[in-house]
C-alpha cells in the first residue's frame, strides 16, 4: 500500500533510480519476479521509510532517557535512523544479486557431479527434451534440474521447439557457467554437430576441473590446519603455561579469569571460525 503511494506520487524520480540500477531488470527477470523495476524500488523505499520512522521514534525515546537530553536524543536518533534506512535500502536493492549468487554457487557445484550424469542420458538418436526429462526425473531436487526442467516445460507445454526453448532459457539462467553450457548445446543443435560428443567433452572438463579444485583445496586445507595447530592450539597452551609460570614469580591480577577466557571462549570461537572457513574451501 505504501509502495503504491510512492509509485503514484514519485513515479518519475523512481524511474530515474531504476535507470541508475541497470542490473535490477535483469536480476528480477532471472528470479522470475512479477515486480517491475519501478515497483521493486518503490517497495524498497517504503520499507526504508517505515524503518526510518520506527527507528527514529524508538531510538529517540531510548537515547533521551539514557542521556537525559531530549535535543541530543532527537538529533542523534535522526542521524542514526537516516543511516540505517539508507543502508537497508541499498541492501534491499542488492538482495536479488545476493540471491542469484547463492543459486549460481549451488548450480556450479552441482555441475561438477551431474553434467557427467546428464551425459549418460544424452543420445544423438534421442530427442534432447526426452533426455532432459529423464535426467530431471532421476535428480528432481537439484538446482540444476530446475533449470533443465524449465526447458522441458517450454517444449512440452509452451509450444516451443527445443532450440527456441534453450535460446529463451539462456537469458534467464542464474549461472554463467550453465549459460555457456546451454549456449554450446544451442550451437550444436543449430549446426548439426554431435550433441552427445559435446556433452561428453563438457563432462570430462567438469570432472578435470573438479579434480583440480580438490587438489587446490587439499593444499589450502593443509596450510590452514598447520596454522591452526601452531597458532591456536600450541600457542594457547604455551600462553597458559607461561602465565602460570610468571604467576609463581609475580602474581598476575585476574589470572584465573584470563585463563578461563583463553580456554573456554577464545579457543572455541577461533576453532568454530576455522571450521566454517574450512567448509567454505571444500568444493
Please give the Cα distance from 70 to 75 (Å, whole number): 9
Helices (H) and strands (E) in the chain, counts: 13, 0
Strands (E) in 102-202, as ranges, are none
Mean pLDDT of the chain: 83
Residue 22 has pLDDT above 70, yes or no: yes
Residue 1 has what pLDDT?
63
Domain boundaries, given as residue ranges, for the chain: 2-103, 106-206, 209-281
Q: How far is CA 73 from CA 51, 52, 86, 111, 228, in A?
A: 17, 15, 20, 54, 46
pLDDT digits (tens, 9 = 90+) for 269-282: 777 777 776 666 66
Please give the Cα distance from 80 to 213 (Å, whole number): 45
For the purposes of burial, counting CB atoms within 10 Å of the CB of 145, is it exposed (0-12), middle (13-18) or buried (19 or more)? buried
243 grid coordinates: 602465565
Instruction: Please name which of 180, 146, 157, 145 lies closest in space to residue 32, comparing C-alpha atoms.
Output: 146
Over residues 162-185, the mean pLDDT reads 91
Instruction: Please tell me what DSSP assigns to residue 233.
Output: I
Over residues 204-208, the mean pLDDT reads 87
pTM of structure: 0.72
Instruction: Look at 39 and 6; give whichever has higher pLDDT.
Output: 39
Please give the Cα distance from 195 to 69 (Å, whole number): 74
pLDDT digits (tens, 9 = 90+) for 86-109: 889 899 999 999 999 889 988 988
- pLDDT above 90 covers a percentage of the chain that reads 16
CA 14 to chain centre: 27
Instruction: Look at 264 and 39; give whichever has higher pLDDT.
Output: 39
- pLDDT class for 250, splitting at 50, 70, 90? low
Amino acid at each position: 500500500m505504501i509502495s503504491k503511494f510512492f509509485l503514484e506520487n514519485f513515479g518519475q524520480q523512481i524511474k530515474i533510480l531504476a535507470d541508475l540500477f541497470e542490473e535490477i531488470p535483469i536480476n528480477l527477470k532471472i528470479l522470475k519476479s512479477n515486480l517491475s523495476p519501478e515497483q521493486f524500488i518503490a517497495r524498497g523505499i517504503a520499507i526504508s521509510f517505515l524503518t526510518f520512522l520506527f527507528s527514529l521514534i524508538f531510538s529517540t525515546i531510548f537515547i533521551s532517557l539514557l542521556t537525559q537530553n531530549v535535543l541530543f536524543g532527537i538529533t542523534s536518533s535522526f542521524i542514526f535512523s537516516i543511516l540505517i534506512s539508507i543502508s537497508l535500502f541499498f541492501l534491499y536493492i542488492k538482495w536479488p544479486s545476493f540471491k542469484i549468487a547463492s543459486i549460481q554457487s549451488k548450480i556450479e557445484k552441482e555441475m561438477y557431479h551431474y553434467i557427467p550424469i546428464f551425459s549418460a542420458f544424452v543420445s544423438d538418436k534421442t530427442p534432447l527434451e526426452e533426455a532432459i526429462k529423464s535426467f530431471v526425473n532421476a535428480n528432481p531436487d537439484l538446482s540444476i534440474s530446475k533449470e533443465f526442467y524449465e526447458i522441458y516445460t517450454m517444449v512440452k507445454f509452451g509450444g516451443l521447439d527445443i532450440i527456441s526453448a534453450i535460446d529463451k532459457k539462456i537469458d534467464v539462467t542464474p549461472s554463467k557457467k550453465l549459460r555457456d553450457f546451454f549456449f554450446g548445446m544451442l550451437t550444436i543443435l543449430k549446426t548439426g554437430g554431435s550433441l552427445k560428443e559435446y556433452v561428453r567433452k563438457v563432462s570430462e572438463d567438469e570432472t578435470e576441473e573438479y579434480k583440480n579444485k580438490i587438489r587446490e583445496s587439499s593444499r589450502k586445507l593443509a596450510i590452514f590446519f598447520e596454522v591452526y595447530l601452531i597458532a591456536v592450539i600450541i600457542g594457547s597452551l604455551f600462553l597458559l603455561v607461561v602465565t602460570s609460570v610468571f604467576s609463581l614469580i609475580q602474581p598476575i591480577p585476574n589470572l584465573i579469569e584470563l585463563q578461563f577466557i583463553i580456554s573456554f571462549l577464545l579457543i572455541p570461537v577461533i576453532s568454530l571460525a576455522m571450521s566454517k572457513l574450512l567448509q567454505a574451501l571444500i568444493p
